[in-house]
Chains A and B, each alone.
Chain A
Amino acid sequence: MGVSWIDLELCNGCGRCELICPEDVLRLDRKEKKAFIKYLRDCQSCFLCELECPQGAIFVTPYRERRAVMPW
């Protein structure tokens, strides 16, 4: 959950997602020139990577991998 997948066919390795992710979840494999999800547990489902990806290669769900404790 959280950021669910990166379409590797579409990803052009621009590194935008790695640059902007507020929680440092995404990284770029510099050899393969493809982005990958490295720290999924810390994804806050903020959709920034999906909205900013110039290729439309990233898909985010609103359901986070790690749910916070609820009040009741």
Chain B
Amino acid sequence: MQEIISDILVIGGGAAGCFAAIKAKQSGISKVLLVDKGYVGKSGCSKFAAGSFKCFIPGEDDFELWFSKAVEEGYYINDQIWTRIHLDEVFERAKELEAWGLNFLKDRNGRFQRLEGQGSSKQRPIKTMMFQGPQLMDVLRATARKHSVRIMDRTMVTHLLHHANDRDMIAGALGFDLKTGRQKAFKAKAIILSAGAQAYKSHYAYQKMATGDAHVMGLRAGAAIKNYEFTCHHLSCADFDTTGMNVLQGTGARFMNSKGEPYMKKYDPEYGDHASMNRLSAAMACEVRLGNGPLYYDFGAFDAKSLDYFKKTLPIMYKAFERAGYIKGGKIKDRVQWVSVNMGNVGYGGGLDINTRCETSVQGLYAAGDATCGPASGVEGFSAYAIPFATTSGARSGLAASEYVRGRNDPLLDKEEVSFCLGELLAPLRRRDGVEPDYVVLKVQEAIFPMDVYLLRHGKRLEQALGKICQLRDEIVPRIKAYDTHYLRMALEASNIVTCAEMFLRAAIARTESRGSHLREDYPDIDNTKWLKWIVFKQENGEIVVSTEPIPVDEYPMKPERKIRRHPIASVMRWK
């Protein structure tokens, strides 16, 4: 087994990981290693960022409007200190990106061209900066290399390792080369988890690599996980996976039901077609339940200018539309069938609990970007927020880890732990016979993807789904078989998908109220008397243990009324 020593090991090379590694190098740390299971610059959700960068610009925007909107959409689940820090620092990160070579769209006067997309209304305009999507990660790889960050591509990290003399301190990690299968032991004084969130390989574009690797590794190493009941409900073309909702909403596409009626104003009078993802998805499910499905996205208002904007900011999706025949001869098809997608906690939703220094509850272990519980955003992502948060939290984690490692000795690994974890890592390859990883993924999707489970939730249905997941966990996961190292990756990803589905369902069952994307038919009220709490998971003796933690809203600038009120969707649907 190859042994690799670094001061700081960054696991996951998307926007958060690159920012972390670059900041660590800028702080003068000599050995910074960035590892990714893909190829840094072409891997992770950041590669497919849909060109939107929601950035507060000092001097141009109203801070109080942005802050209050973030907390309102966060349904008071935010760590408001984090929200403030994020808004304070995000423009600095945008300027850095621009200095490193990222092209933001600008008008003739050199001012940022900003789109009023998702979450923007006449009364409360929130504008998004736009960039050429795929360029972001190319710029970040080049910048990381310029800063002499050591990059190790095609290496999947599967386990975190503790210090031989201190079980509460992180000392390294274990992984393997995806091509050769060679096993690698990493020794590091600090580790930053920036390997994204969990998307359950859903019908949303280009997120199949987001399989909760960081969440599960962190959980098993003793770190706390938070907010897992809140999932990101995104929208996609029904025929194939797409992305880019912020751009499409901002350029005039409208939601229609099968009767040709626009329906969004009914569910969200202020924002209508510009509504946030959880409101759009819940409205879709309600329309389907009312017998008004299938549902469509209407591009009737698109002109040549909108199409040009689409092409510039979402070149990959534009290509997919062309290839499917939806864009022909400079014209876009009038109506395309559209669906809601549970994309787990990519973009926003649950993940590793961090403080404002990006420290997890394990010493020496940090997290950034989608791997975290999204403390700045709370329930809803404040749309087009994932990449901006990846930059602010990435930078913060890199700086904090740099401070931590200074003056520390090289860590000592626990040989017994290494050999135990290695056995676990290789188990799917060693099985003679077994179940294919794909089967496990399909079974998880069948349990949690129906709209009656993840969108319109009910205790009974959540319990049923949890029963299916626990059965998979106990009977099928120990039998997953990998034919080669490619399948070993898929096997480990499938196992992580099961663990995350269990956390999602347990958290959704525990929260006996409705709040944002967590919409329960059996508890249709937002209960600010009982539920201003975070749901936290920890692993103890191999079992996932749930607890709650009060949100210190009294110490925050925005304090909700301690009242019970109906969830807006429940009001429209007149649930009792």
Residues of A at the B interface (CB closer than 8 Å) are 19-24, 38-39, 41-42, 44-48, 50-52, 60-64, 66-72
Q: Are B178 and A51 in contact (CB under 8 A)?
A: no
Q: Does B226 contact A (CB under 8 A)?
A: no
Q: Is B187 an interface residue (CB 8 A)?
A: no
B205 lies within 8 A of A46 (CB): yes
The reply to whether B42 and A48 form a contact with Cβ atoms under 8 Å apart is yes
Q: Which of A19, A22, A61, A71 contacts B323 (CB 8 A)?
A: A61
B341 beta carbon closer than 8 Å to chain A: yes
B544 on the interface (CB 8 Å rule)? no
The interface bits of chain B over 17-49 (1 if a CB of A lies within 8 angstroms of the residue's CB, else 0) are 000000000000000000000110111100110
Query: What separation, in Å, do the CA atoms of A67 and B43 have in the docked complex?
Result: 21
Q: How long is the Cα–Cα vector from A42 to B38 in the complex, in angstroms?
A: 14
Would you call B451 and A68 a contact (CB within 8 A)? Answer: no
A45 engages B241 (CB within 8 Å): yes
What are the 8 closest A-B residue pairs judged by CB atoms, nearest first?
Answer: A69-B445, A62-B320, A62-B240, A71-B451, A68-B203, A20-B42, A69-B449, A44-B208
Q: Hey, which chain A residues are within 8 Å of B489, CB to CB?
A: 24
Q: What is the CA–CA distance of A71 and B293 in the complex, to the nearest angstrom? A: 12
**Chain A residues with Cβ under 8 A from B52's Cβ?**
none
Pairwise interchain contact A46-B48, C-beta atoms closer than 8 A: yes
Q: Which has the most chain B C-beta neighbours within 10 Å: A20, A64, A69, A70?
A: A69
User: What are 20 pairs between A and B in contact, CB < 8 Å?
Assistant: A19-B39, A21-B38, A22-B43, A39-B486, A44-B206, A46-B48, A47-B320, A50-B319, A51-B319, A62-B240, A62-B320, A63-B239, A68-B200, A68-B203, A69-B446, A71-B339, A71-B454, A72-B285, A72-B339, A72-B451
The interface bits of chain B over 224-241 (1 if a CB of A lies within 8 angstroms of the residue's CB, else 0) are: 000000000000001111
- Tell me the residues in window 336-367 of chain B with beta carbons closer than 8 Å to chain A beta carbons: 339-342
* Chain B: minimal CB distance from A36 (Å): 13
* Contact between chains at A23 and B208 (CB < 8 Å): yes
Assess whether A42 is in contact with B208, with CB atoms less than 8 Å apart. yes
Give, as a whole number of angstroms, the nearest-CB distance from B401 to chain A.
26
Measured in the bound complex, the distance between the Cα atoms of B241 and A22 in whole Å is: 16
Q: Which residues of B contact A20 (CB under 8 A)?
A: 38-39, 41-42
Q: Which residue of A lies closest to B42 (CB)?
A: A20
Most buried by A among B42, B44, B48: B42
Contact B293 A46 (CB under 8 A): no
The smallest C-beta distance from A18 to any residue of chain B, in angstroms, reads 9
Contact with A46, one of B206, B321, B341, B450 (Cβ below 8 angstroms): B206
What band does the interface of chain B fall in when counting residues whose beta carbon is under 8 Å from A?
Answer: 35 or more
A residues near B320, Cβ cutoff 8 Å: 45, 47, 62
- When C-beta atoms are compared, the residue in chain A nearest to B156 turns out to be A24
With A62-B321, A64-B241 known, 5 other A-B pairs at CB within 8 A are A19-B153, A51-B319, A62-B320, A69-B445, A69-B450
- Closest Cβ of chain B to A19, distance in Å, is 6
- Asked whether A71 lies within 8 Å of B240 as measured between CB atoms, the reply is no
Interface string of B479-501 (1 = CB under 8 A from A): 00000001001100000000000
Q: Show the binding face of B for A, using Cβ within 8 Å.
A: 38-39, 41-44, 47-48, 134, 153-154, 178, 200-203, 205-209, 238-241, 285, 288, 293, 315-316, 319-321, 323-324, 339-342, 438, 442, 445-446, 449-451, 454-455, 486, 489-490
Given contacts A45-B320, A62-B324, A64-B240, contact A22 B201 (CB under 8 A): no
A71:B341 contact, CB within 8 angstroms:
yes
What are the residues of chain A within 8 A of B446 when measuring CB–CB? Answer: 69
Query: For residue A39, which residues in chain B have a CB less than 8 angstroms away from its CB?
Result: 486
B209 to A, closest residue via Cβ: A22
Q: If A22-B209, A39-B486, A41-B438 touch, does A68 touch B201 (CB 8 Å cutoff)?
A: yes
B456 to chain A, nearest CB (A): 10
* B450 cross-chain contacts in A, Cβ below 8 A: 69, 71-72
Taken together as a complex, chains A and B put the C-alpha atoms of A55 and B201 apart, in Å, by: 30
- B134, B178, B241, B341 — which one has the most chain A CB atoms within 10 A of its CB? B241
A67: which B residues are within 8 A, CB to CB? 203
Contacts of B285 in A (CB 8 A): 71-72
Question: Chain B nearest CB: distance from A1 CB in Å?
Answer: 9
A47 in contact with B451 (CB, 8 Å): no
Task: Kindly list chain B residues whose C-beta atoms are within 8 Å of the C-beta of A47.
Answer: 316, 319-320
Assembled-state Cα–Cα distance A71/B340 (Å): 7
Q: Is the CB of B42 within 8 A of A22?
A: yes
Q: Which residue of B lies closest to A61 (CB)?
A: B323
Contact, CB under 8 Å: B178 / A24: yes
Q: Which residues of B contact A68 (CB under 8 A)?
A: 200-203, 241, 341, 445, 449
Please state if A46 and B449 are interface contacts (CB–CB under 8 Å). Answer: no
Residues of B within 8 A of A72 (CB): 285, 288, 293, 339, 450-451
Q: Nearest A residue to B316 by beta-carbon distance?
A: A47
Q: Inside 8 A of A38's CB, which chain B residues have their CB? A: 486
The residue of chain A having its C-beta at the shortest distance from the C-beta of B288 within the complex is A72
Name which residue of chain B comes closest to A20, CB basis. Answer: B42
| Interface contact B206-A69, CB-CB below 8 Å | no
Verify B316–A46 contact, CB threshold 8 A: yes
Q: Which residues of B contact A21 (CB under 8 A)?
A: 38, 42
Tell me the bound Cα distance from A20 to B206 in angstroms: 14
